[in-house]
Amino acid sequence: MLLTLPKRMSLGLTFALIAAVLLPLLSYADPSKLLVNEPSRDSTDKFTPPPPQSRLITQSQYSRVIKDVFGPDITITVRFPPLPREGGLETLATTDTALTPAGFESFYSAASDVAAKVVDEEHREFLIPCKPRSISAPDDKCAERFFQSVGPVLYRRPLTKEEAAFQVWAAAQGTVATKNFYRGLALSLTGMLVSPKFLMISDTIATDRQRPLAAKLDAYSKASRLSLFLWNSFPDRALLNAAKDGKLDAKAGIEYQVQRMMKSPRMEAGVRAFFEDMLRLDGIEGVSKDPTVYPMYTRRVAAAAKEQVLRTVVDLVLVQDTDYRNLFTTKTLFVSPVLGPIYNIPVTDPAEWSEITDTSAERAGLLTQPAFLAEYAHTARSSPTRRGRAVREIFLCQNVPNPPSNVDFSALNDPDPKLKTVRDRLSAHRSNPVCAGCHRITDPIGLALENFDGAGRYRETEDGAAIDTSGNLDGTKFQNITEFTEAVAHSAQLPRCLTTRLADYAVARNLGAPQKPWIDRLQQDFVANGYRVLKLMEDIATSDEFYSISSPVVDQTVVANTGVALLN
């Protein structure tokens, strides 16, 4: 059922219903805001909490919340604007996202669609906790029961009396205009789903009359931060009740909730969300290949390649709770029928994923899976430079400068026929002083993956010449793919990079030097605990620093007057 508005209310009641949420939301649109560069992480002796912030919910969080609150069959079609990455993560850019009127229109359309499905005949029986006295007239008591049920989960805190009353009033007005209780309810729910109280994740500071200058997150902000980190979703009712009862103000209460949440099936969504962001898997489905060179590479292959990576991550990180470094050396493959041609593996069951063990020396870990190999390659050929840069930036957190604008690519695009392999052709760039610096740190890594073409298929020769995959990773020499993946897995930068990325992701900000002591301790514990990602997530979620916040900058006159008022 599609929710439509009668013509007579298109300019009247429509604005009455959404004006309260539209205008505040547009206040976040500030095109003058600039992205913040990743701060320095130089040494400092003392942990300093970051200031409070507000940010837009991410697209994956939006989708997950709708499914968790209303059920997995409530599908959505909203598309968030693409975000630049900060500190290697797309999530960190949400604090600098300006929501334009066009963007709001997209949110409103999606919210209307969701609300219409919630109240349709298929879903209303189990999503709405009551039946109206009349389907054609307002029923304030039934409407209030519905909003008191879904409101706290959507807003991540109990509704105020004024908020609940407004939603009931809006539902009644919509019912009068449409002569249908459920359509009126849907109009009011639509308003909630486009409200900044739903779309914006804001740090709320708890007030303390005895310490007006002290800052701490209130219990509901703690619950939101915890659930978004572990589940990529909003708090469930148990976590909201813990916040309401003051249990999140004690260390033991937080530890209990973390243990409970990490045993939940929702942890898979949280693990997937982090690694999808860190591994930049959002880009793989947009990768296209020259069909004359790679006819087997299609959009279905790209989608399956992304899922293959996530299944590998879930298996090793969540199910087996094993050493993070095994992601780079594992011989276990999850292969679907779509990926069969890439691996030259016949898949017997056309409807299922197959878990197999590849005992050959051809592949090992994520770096030899099609998602990575195809995304960091050209349309019709491989790219050692792109692959090498991706390894350094994604897994080792090392920034590689962009190439100069006047680079001569003729040696690669129109190569000397005597230069059979890309290793030979890249020597032209390494001999150019302008290019040599970057190519020295990218090419030896990327050339280790030259046994895989631009679609991720294994090969041993290029243009009839044997491929040389030997190289050096920051002092560690390797001769083949197995030795290369071992070198990456045992790089000193690997655990530091993951710890930094995960801590940044957890608090949704680019942590800098003031927070370095926390990251240092997390990294040391991560290594001591066997490089287990789940233990690192637990350590982050139960640490005081995760919930720490500094006081916002305030007018000292206001502070002084506040102190006088409190004393009086």
Q: 3-class DSSP state for residue 267?
A: helix
Q: Is 359 helix (H, G, I), strand (E, B) or coil?
A: coil
Give me the residue spans of the domains in the chain. 7-32+43-202, 271-489
CB atoms within 10 A of CB 5: 16
**CA atoms of 154 and 132, how far apart (whole Å):** 23
| Higher per-residue pLDDT: 145 or 416 | 145
pLDDT for 5 equals 39
For residue 268, the surrounding DSSP H or E stretch is helix 267-278
Its sign, for the CA torsion 57, 256, 51, 565, is: positive
Q: How confident is the model over 442-479, as pLDDT tens digits?
A: 888 999 999 999 999 999 988 888 899 999 999 999 99
Which residue's structure tokens are 């439509």? Answer: 4
Query: At 432, is the secondary structure helix, strand, or coil?
Result: coil
Residues 494/396, Cβ–Cβ less than 8 Å = yes
pLDDT at res. 118: 97
Cα–Cα distance, 383 to 473 (Å, whole number): 17
209, 524 contact by CB (below 8 A)? no
Q: Please tell me what DSSP assigns to residue 521.
A: H
324 class by beta-carbon count within 10 Å (0-12 exposed, 13-18 middle, 19+ buried): buried
- Residue 537 has, within 13 A of its CA and on its CB side, a CA count of 27
Cα–Cα distance list, 59 to 66, 146, 180, 200, 252 (Å): 11, 25, 32, 12, 33
State both tokens at 498: 């993951």
Going by pLDDT thresholds of 50, 70 and 90, the confidence category of residue 485 is very high
Q: Would you call 457 helix, strand, or coil by DSSP?
A: coil
**Whole-angstrom Cα distance, residue 517 to residue 510?**
15
Q: Which residues, in sequence order, are bridge partners of residue 472?
A: 477
Cα distance between residue 373 and residue 377, in whole Å: 6
Q: Is the pLDDT of residue 108 over 50?
A: yes
Q: What is the CA radius of gyration of the chain?
A: 27
Which residue would you say has higher pLDDT here, 416 or 95? 95
Of the two residues 504 and 99, the one the predictor is more confident about is 504
Q: Are the C-beta atoms of residues 297 and 457 closer than 8 Å to each other?
A: no
Please give the Cα distance from 155 to 383 (Å, whole number).
46
297's tokens: 């590479």
CB 80 within 8 A of CB 59: yes
* Helix/strand/coil (H/E/C) assignment for every residue in 233-258: CCCCHHHHHHHHCCHHHCHHHHHHHH
Residue 273 one-letter amino acid: A
Q: Compute the distance between CA of residue 280 and CA of residue 276 in angstroms, rounded to an integer.
A: 6
Could you tell me where the beta strands, DSSP code E, fall in 214-331? none
Q: What is the DSSP letter of 139?
A: -
Q: How confident is the model at residue 13 (pLDDT cuts 50, 70, 90)?
A: very low
Higher pLDDT, 361 or 434: 361
DSSP state of 561: H
Task: Give me the pLDDT at residue 178, please.
Answer: 96
Q: Give me the mean pLDDT over the 139-168 stretch.
A: 97
Question: pLDDT at position 47, please?
Answer: 87
Q: 349-358 long-range CB contacts below 8 Å, 24 or more apart?
A: 353/311, 355/315, 356/332, 357/331, 357/332, 357/333, 358/331, 358/332, 358/333
Q: What are all long-range contacts of 69-77, with beta carbons under 8 Å and residues at least 24 apart?
A: 69/150, 69/153, 69/154, 69/234, 70/114, 70/117, 70/118, 70/123, 70/127, 70/150, 71/123, 71/127, 73/123, 74/114, 74/117, 74/118, 74/123, 75/117, 76/110, 76/113, 76/114, 77/109, 77/110, 77/113
pLDDT (tens digit, 9 = 90+) per residue, 109-120? 999 999 999 999
Provide, for the chain, the percentages of residues in helix, strand and coil under a 3-state DSSP scheme, each rounded to the nearest 5: 55, 5, 40
**Token reading at 535:** 């233990």
- Residue 328's CB: how many other CB atoms inside 10 A? 22
Across the chain, mean pLDDT equals 85
Model pLDDT, residue 407? 56
Contacts 24+ apart (CB under 8 A), 391-396: 391/367, 391/445, 391/446, 391/488, 392/441, 392/442, 392/445, 393/88, 394/88, 394/278, 394/279, 394/280, 395/488, 395/491, 395/494, 395/497, 396/491, 396/493, 396/494, 396/497
Query: What residue type is 218 in one-letter code?
Result: D
Report which of 74, 28, 20, 19 is spatially closest to residue 201, judged by C-alpha positions.
Answer: 28
- Report the run of H or E that residue 476 belongs to, with start and end: strand 476-478
Pairwise CA distance, residues 142 & 176, whole Å: 15
* Interval 255-313: pLDDT, tens: 999 999 999 999 999 999 999 999 999 889 889 999 999 999 999 999 999 999 999 99
What is residue 393's predicted lDDT score, i.e. its pLDDT?
95
pLDDT tens-digit profile of 322-331?
999 999 999 9
Q: What is the pLDDT of residues 359-400, one digit of tens each?
A: 888 899 999 999 999 999 999 999 999 999 999 999 999 988
Q: Is the pLDDT of residue 333 over 80?
A: yes
Give tens-digit pLDDT for 210-219. 655 557 899 9
Of all residues in the chain, what percent carry a pLDDT higher than 70? 80
Where residue 345 falls among pLDDT bands split at 50, 70, 90? confident
Q: Would you say 354 and 347 are in contact if contact means Cβ atoms under 8 Å apart? A: yes
Pair of tokens at residue 212: 């007006």
Choice among 93-97, 192-196, 278-282 with the minimum mean pLDDT: 93-97
Q: Are 271 and 277 contacting, i.e. CB atoms less than 8 angstroms apart?
A: no
Supply angle C-alpha 224, 226, 228, rounded to 5. Answer: 65
Q: Which residue has the higher pLDDT, 243 or 29?
A: 243
